[in-house]
Structure 1
C-alpha cells in the first residue's frame, strides 16, 4: 500500500502470565484468557517482543510497529519525527496478589536503562477493587536508604511505604523514582514505552513455575529511588465538564495527558493533527468516522491516527471512556 487509508484502529490484547495475576480480566475483555494467573493484558504496545496487532479492517494483521514505521505522518501528525517508536504502552492489570515492591528509573538515569529503552513514568486508573485492595505509593517522609536496607533485612519494607485503600475511579500518578506496588485491584495503566523495572522486595515468596524466589535488584532499585517522593495519594481530577458531558482531566505531564468522559450524551474525541487513544472501561457506544460506525465496548482500546482529526462518539446508555494524548515535545 503506497498511501495510508487509516481509520480507528482496534487491537487484540496480549496476555502476560504473572504469578500475582488472576482471572478478573475476563470481566473486561472478550478475548479468552490463557490458563493460569494472568496479570497483564498489553492493549497497545510497540515493543520488539510484543507488538499489538490490528484486529479489523484493511490493516487487520498489521502490527502497530509496522504502521508506525510505514505511515509515521498519518499516525503521529505534528508529532512525527519526535519518537523512534510509539511512545506509550497501555495495559490492564489484574493484581490478584500483591506485586513486588519496585521502582523505575527516570529518563536521565541512562546507566540504569537498557539500550533502546527509556525511563518509566506511569499512572493507574482503578477499575475494580477487592476486599484486600491496597496501593503502596511513595515512601513515608524521612525514610532513608539505610532504613530500606534495614527493612529488607527485617522483612519489614512495607513499614516505610505510604499506602491507602483504593476505590474504583481513583487515579494514581507514579512518577519515575517512586517506590510502589498494588494488590487486589484491576487497573488501567498508561506509561512510557519502557519495560525497565527494578524489584526492591518480593514479599519472600516463590514463583510456582520455578519453585524459586524471583530475582531482586536491590542496589539498582535503591539507586533509582527519589527519596523526596512520599505519601502519594489519588489525584484530584480537574473538572472540565461542558454541558451534559462530564469530562475530567486526571493526568497532565510531559509524557501523557489523560481525561475521563462519563456520559449518556454524544461528545467528540480526537484532535486535529495529533494521535489520540481511547480506552472504554464501562458501557458501550460507537465512533462515527467517514460515514462508517465503529462499535466500542467495555475493554476496547482504539488508536485514532492523527489524520482522522475530531470525530463523534455516541454512547448507547452510559459510557466511561478514557482519552489519552501525547504531549508535543517541541513546545
Structure 2
C-alpha cells in the first residue's frame, strides 16, 4: 500500500476579484490573471484534485477517498471527504458573506455540511484589512443598518500582516480584503451567502446575486469573537505551532530547519508547503518537496522523516 506522500494537482477557479499572485508566488500555471482560488487539496465535486504520483496517478481525490479508505485509516469511507484546502488571491475585496452551520446546510440547503474555515495570511499589502464580524447588537439593528446601507457602521474590520491566523466559525460575517493571499482550511463545502458585494458588475454588466434573507438567518448576532491561543512546541529541528484545535480540524504551522523524524499516526495529514524546499524520506521512497506543493500523508506511510528548510501548513480532522 501507499508508502509515499500523495501529491495533488491544484484546481483553479477564476473569480471577479482574482489576480495573478498564485503564479507569482507559487509558480502555478493559472488560467488567467483573474484567478482567485487554487483548490489545492480537494475532494469536492466542484473541483476535485488529481493525484500526480504513484499507483493512483490520474485518479481524483474523490475516487481515492471512496475506493481506498485504508489510506485514510479507515475500513470504509461512507461520509464525504471532510476538508478542503485552498489558496486565495484577493486582488480585489471579496464580497461580505457568511456561511451556514451543519444543521442549516443539511436541513434547509440540502448540502452535506456547513462551512467553518480558517485563514493563514501568506502575503499581503501594507495596511491590508479583513472584515470579521459586525457591530450590531441585535438582528433589528443589523437589519436597520443594512436597509440604510450604512456598511461602515455595520462591518468590523481589522488590519492583518503576513503570518496572521484567523478562525472563522460558521455564522461569522467576513470578507478578505484587497491585496491579501491566504491559505484557507475549511469544511468541504462550497456554500456561501453574500450580504454585500460593493455593487460590482461582471463582464456582462450584471451584479452578482445576493442572499440577504439566508445570510441574516445563519449569521451570529451579536458577533462572538473567538480567541485562539497558539500552542508552540520546539522539537529537534522543528518548531510546531498549533494554530487551532477545533470541532472540524486541527491546523499547525511547521517550521523545519533540518531533519525531523515525524511520529507515526493512525490518521492522515494534509500538507501545503508555503516556503522552502526539502525531502520526505520513507522506507521505500524519497520525494522532493518545494514551495507550492500540496500532498496528503496517508495513514499507510509507515516511518518517515522530513529534511530541509521548510514552512508548511499541516492539518487533520
* TM-score, normalised relative to structure 1: 0.89
Report the count of equivalent residues.
Answer: 316
Which residue of the partner structure matches residue 72 of structure 2? 76
Among 175, 186, 190, the residue aligned to 1:181: 175
Is the CA contact 1:21–1:95 (under 8 Å) kept in the aligned structure 2?
Answer: yes
Q: Give the superposition deviation at 1:126.
A: 0.4
Which residue of the partner structure matches residue 308 of structure 1? 301
Separation of aligned partners in 1, 2:16 and 2:107: 25
1:90 aligns with 2:85: yes
Among 281, 291, 305, the residue aligned to 1:288: 281
Q: Give the superposition deviation at 1:13.
A: 0.8
1:265 aligns with 2:261: no
Going from structure 1 to structure 2, the CA distance change for 1:232 and 1:182 (only over 3 Å counts) comes to: farther
Gaps of 5+ in 2: none
Which residue of the partner structure matches residue 195 of structure 2? 200
Which residue of the partner structure matches residue 15 of structure 1? 12
Q: Give the superposition deviation at 1:98.
A: 0.7
1:220 aligns with 2:214: yes
Is the CA contact 1:107–1:119 (under 8 Å) kept in the aligned structure 2?
Answer: yes
Separation of aligned partners in 2, 1:145 and 1:204: 23
Separation of aligned partners in 2, 1:241 and 1:17: 39
Q: Deviations over 1:283-315 (max 9, x none)?
A: 111111123211111111110111114521101
Q: Deviations over 1:15-52 (max 9, x none)?
A: 10111111111133333111241110000111223111
1:45 aligns with 2:42: yes
1:253 aligns with 2:246: yes
Going from structure 1 to structure 2, the CA distance change for 1:251 and 1:129 (only over 3 Å counts) comes to: same
Among 95, 117, 137, the residue aligned to 1:100: 95
Separation of aligned partners in 2, 1:147 and 1:132: 29
1:31 aligns with 2:11: no
Which residue of the partner structure matches residue 329 of structure 1? none
Which residue of the partner structure matches residue 67 of structure 1? 64
Gaps of 5+ in 1: 327-331
Alignment of 1:144-159 (within 5 A): 144-159=138-153
Which residue of the partner structure matches residue 270 of structure 2? 277
Among 185, 205, 225, the residue aligned to 1:190: 185
Q: Give the superposition deviation at 1:6.
A: 5.2
- What secondary structure sits across from 1:46 in the alignment? coil
Is the CA contact 2:22–2:28 (under 8 Å) kept in the aligned structure 1?
Answer: no
Q: Give the superposition deviation at 1:257.
A: 0.4
Q: Give the superposition deviation at 1:211.
A: 0.8
- What secondary structure sits across from 2:102 in the alignment? coil
Separation of aligned partners in 1, 2:299 and 2:97: 35
Separation of aligned partners in 2, 1:294 and 1:158: 50
Separation of aligned partners in 1, 2:106 and 2:236: 49
Q: Give the superposition deviation at 1:106.
A: 0.7
Is the CA contact 2:237–2:260 (under 8 Å) kept in the aligned structure 1?
Answer: no
Q: Give the superposition deviation at 1:132.
A: 5.0
Q: Give the superposition deviation at 1:197.
A: 0.7
- What secondary structure sits across from 2:258 in the alignment? coil
Is the CA contact 2:236–2:260 (under 8 Å) kept in the aligned structure 1?
Answer: no
* TM-score, normalised relative to structure 2: 0.93
Is the CA contact 2:106–2:113 (under 8 Å) kept in the aligned structure 1?
Answer: no
Is the CA contact 2:4–2:285 (under 8 Å) kept in the aligned structure 1?
Answer: no
Q: Give the superposition deviation at 1:182.
A: 1.1
